[in-house]
Amino acid sequence: MEKPIVGFIGLGIMGQPMASNLVKAGYRLVVFNRTREKAEAMAGELVQVASSPAEVASKCQMVITIVTDSAAVEEVIAGPQGLLGAVTPGSIIIDMSTISPAVEQQLDSELRRVSATLVDAPVSGGDIGAQQGTLAIMAGGDRDAFERSLPLFQGMGKTITYCGPVGSGQLTKLCNQILVSVNLLAVTEAVTFARKTGLNPETMIEAVKGGAAGSWQLANLGPKIARRDFAPGFMIDLMQKDLRLVLEAAGSSAVCLSAASSVHQLFNAAQAKGLGKEGTQALMQVVETGAAL
């Protein structure tokens, strides 16, 4: 089966390597980026640069978007010069941004009026996962639209999960962020306890990481916290954006999230200390001072 020409909107830290991986996988792309230079940098035999999302939609029946936030996705899809104005019946818009599940559902309704559909497919794995094509991709939407999107996902990621109707990808990503941030809080408390009671935190981590206390956060960020390396893998400012989505969705569904809410407040304290551009592990700098809820 011939590969479709794929639209790709948003060539940031995540989008650029993801788009490159699709080219490596043999796809021709039509790309759009708000800052046009980033699109021009990719232009070539297989990559054509468009002047608007609408132009992308007019040329491609499968369009991937990965932009900053809910407002940016709304602009790209439903704004002036957005995809909606030019999308053809049968098109699939695959939004890989991390945004509000409710916004995805709303945009899907609008796309359905013109016989198109939306698949929400946020990712985890960071810029390194994007570069190496090892992202986890959590997708929601029509099962059929998911199946048609699967070859594209396989060009960009490794663990690809169909999670349910539209919005389910985002909801799954939010579960991911609850786990990431609360597990990180656990690590900061354990390292603080270790240090203040006279243990060597790195020895403690080695002793416990292989058992029931083990986590990705402990194994990967624990040693950084112990040696006070706060350089960003994933920035606190970005985690806060995601935790706001968590708490917004929790509010809509009357879910009480005591720990996720606490860690959001502790990250607020970190931002107040000017740590927003540091890695999430800089949460340590709040926890060790005795901040609590």
Which residues from 178-217 bind a second copy, rule CB under 8 A? 178-180, 182-183, 185-187, 189-190, 192-194, 196-200, 203-204, 206-208, 210-217
**Closer to a second copy at the Cβ: 40 or 229?**
229
Enumerate residues 12-31 that contact a second copy by CB under 8 A.
none
Could you say whether residue 231 binds a second copy (CB under 8 A)?
A: no
Query: Cβ of residue 238: shortest distance to a second copy, in angstroms?
Result: 13
CA 79 to chain centre: 22
Could you say whether residue 261 binds a second copy (CB under 8 A)?
A: yes
Q: What residues have CB less than 8 Å from 146, skipping those under 6 apart?
A: 119, 139, 162
Enumerate residues 133-162 that contact a second copy by CB under 8 A.
136, 138, 159, 161-162
Enumerate residues 264-283 that contact a second copy by CB under 8 A.
266
Are 84 and 114 in contact by the 8 Å Cβ rule? The answer is yes
As annotated, the active-site residues are 173
Cα separation, 2 vs 20, whole angstroms: 19
Can you read off the two tokens belonging to residue 128?
């390194």
Query: Cβ of residue 204: shortest distance to a second copy, in angstroms?
Result: 5
Tell me which amino acid residue 215 is. S
Size of the site for a second copy (CB under 8 A): 73
The enclosing H or E element of 284 equals: helix 284-287
**Residue 119 dihedral angles phi and psi, to the nearest 5°:** -115, 125
**Closer to a second copy at the Cβ: 20 or 168?**
168
